[in-house]
Amino acid sequence: MKLHGPAARLTVLIGESDQWRHGPLYHEIVRRAREDGLAGATVLRGIEGYGASSRIHTTRILSLSQDLPVAVVLIDTEERIRAFLPRLDELVTEGLVVLDPVEVIRYAGREAEEP
């Protein structure tokens, strides 16, 4: 797949402990994005943050360190990202979902290794 020029970045901000059917929610989002053929997905673990509940989650407080903020970032064309939104809506019941226009400068994978 080639991706160059105008694109969209979908960022999903959730908690590390958020679950989908006994597994991490972030894993299910990435799995579905790959299944749908989106260009890329990355999960970033935060060290501190808060959301709609205004409760601070930080690595400095041991009792809350199991629910750190997580950002799932997905990149593809705006059309493909918007087509993915209904699948995401089923998964994310708490959190923040943001869509930004971006410009892809370079999108290249590793060359396949010979067996």
Mean pLDDT by 10 residues, the chain (115 residues): 89 93 96 96 88 67 68 97 95 94 88 63
- The pTM score is 0.84
Fold of 5-103: Alpha-Beta Plaits (3.30.70)
Residue 4: what pLDDT? 86
Residue 67: what pLDDT? 75
Residue 13: what pLDDT? 95
Long-range contacts of 48-54 (CB under 8 A, 24+ apart): 49/13, 51/13, 51/15, 51/94, 51/95, 51/96, 52/94, 52/96
Residue 39: what pLDDT? 95
What residue segments make up the domains of the chain, in order of their start? 5-103
